[in-house]
Amino acid sequence: MSFSSDCKEELCRVPCDKSCCRMAELTALYLCLGSLSLLGQGRLSVRFAVESPAIARRIYRFVQKETQIAAQLQYVTHARFGGTREYVLTIGPNDAPALLESFDMMTAGASPMLLSTTPNVRLNRACCRHAFLRGAILGCGTLVNPEHAYHLEFTVKDDKLRRSILKCLQNLQIPVKRSSRRNALSLYVKQSEHIITILTACGAYQAVTTLESTLVKRQVLGNVNRAMNCDYANLRRQMNAGARQLRLIETLLASDKSLSLPPALQELAQARMQAPDLSLAELGQRLDPPVSKSGTNNRMRRLMKIAREIQ
């Protein structure tokens, strides 16, 4: 399972206790996945075409709770698209008016009239805005696996849906980018902390945990790499210094001056010849008796000064 489908499965389990929020989520789902069919003689039906059974069950439950209508559920297999399955919920002509009335798409009464082909969106309360976003993620959202990138995208075909998603995200102070592809517009969010804010608002806490642990993992990896690069740079510097000293010492030992070197410097010169790669601290430990790093450094400076004089 992908991160996106895991997250949607989780969103389908988020409890939604208030009627206002159920309607807000259902409105988003309708704008993403719903459609209205005209059957002739003023008869209408409503249809939701859904990618996963969990989303279909959630829509079924919400419709039933809000309107006492039991939708019909069908499984449709599309032979043309590699046998992809679609779950279709239909609210037939007898029940459709009641559902459309609850969406403010139709007037109530004995001779109902269609007012709009899309539901009225109510986003005044924060709870409903969060529920709307949950519906929008379920209906038209995609999340990229955080191991690869931080990316939450809404593929939006309807203008009302686009404006409503933007309003919800603006309320959470989340900057949104947009791009258009053929007949659909994409709204997307790229920063991990903003995706975390959205998922937290929607109640997808498990997905938030996954995202946060990926963030930590990436941070640790970055630190380790930086430390390794730093160690490598130190090592290279040390080896370069060792090689430089070695060249000077070789010249010095080949000259007459080597005979007049004090024994302490003589010993250090020999030690360096035998171990060109060691740091000064390590080199000092090889002397008899061992000498501290600063002591070795001091001796090495004197040795180098004499060697440079010969050059």
User: Which two structure tokens, joined as six digits, stand for 32?
Assistant: 């993403």
Q: Is 172 in the site for Zn ion (CB under 5 A)?
A: no
Which range, of 10-18, 31-39, 55-63, 217-225, touches Zn ion by CB under 5 A?
A: 10-18
Judged by beta carbon, residue 202 or residue 306, the one nearer Zn ion is: 202
Residue 301 CA to residue 256 CA, distance in Å, equals 20
DSSP secondary structure string for all residues of 229-293 = HHHHHHHHHHHHHHHHHHHHHHHHHHSGGGGGS-HHHHHHHHHHHH-TTS-HHHHHHTSSS---H
Which range, of 93-101, 121-129, 152-160, 273-281, touches Zn ion by CB under 5 A?
A: 121-129
Q: What sign results for the dihedral spanned by CA atoms 129, 134, 138, 143?
A: positive
Residue 117 CA to residue 105 CA, distance in Å, equals 6
Q: Is 144 in the site for Zn ion (CB under 5 A)?
A: no
Judged by beta carbon, residue 134 or residue 299, the one nearer Zn ion is: 134
Which range, of 16-24, 40-48, 99-107, 145-153, touches Zn ion by CB under 5 A?
A: 16-24
Which range, of 8-16, 109-117, 125-133, 272-280, touches Zn ion by CB under 5 A?
A: 125-133
CA angle centred on 178, ends 172 and 181, rounded to 5°? 145
* Contacts (Cβ under 8 Å, ≥6 apart) of 42: none
Judged by beta carbon, residue 21 or residue 283, the one nearer Zn ion is: 21
Of 4, 5, 9, 20, the one binding Zn ion by CB under 5 A: 20
Q: Is 26 in the site for Zn ion (CB under 5 A)?
A: no
Q: Is 128 in the site for Zn ion (CB under 5 A)?
A: yes
CB of 126: closest distance to Zn ion in angstroms? 8
Which range, of 20-28, 33-41, 186-194, 224-232, touches Zn ion by CB under 5 A?
A: 20-28
Tokens 């209508």, residue located = 69
Contact 170, 182 (CB under 8 A): no
Of 21, 28, 99, 169, the one binding Zn ion by CB under 5 A: 21
Judged by beta carbon, residue 19 or residue 219, the one nearer Zn ion is: 19
CB of 129: closest distance to Zn ion in angstroms? 8
- Where b means 16+ CB within 10 Å and e means fewer, 83-103 reads eeeebbbbbeeebbbbbbbbb
Q: Are strands 84-91 and 34-40 parallel, antiparallel or unpaired?
A: unpaired
Q: Is 184 in the site for Zn ion (CB under 5 A)?
A: no
Q: HSE-up of 16 (CA within 13 Å, CB side)?
A: 32
CB of 20: closest distance to Zn ion in angstroms? 3
Q: Is 127 in the site for Zn ion (CB under 5 A)?
A: yes
Contact 88, 50 (CB under 8 A): yes
Q: Is 14 in the site for Zn ion (CB under 5 A)?
A: no
- Number of residues engaging Zn ion in binding (CB under 5 A): 6
Which residues bind to Zn ion, rule: CB under 5 A? 18, 20-21, 125, 127-128
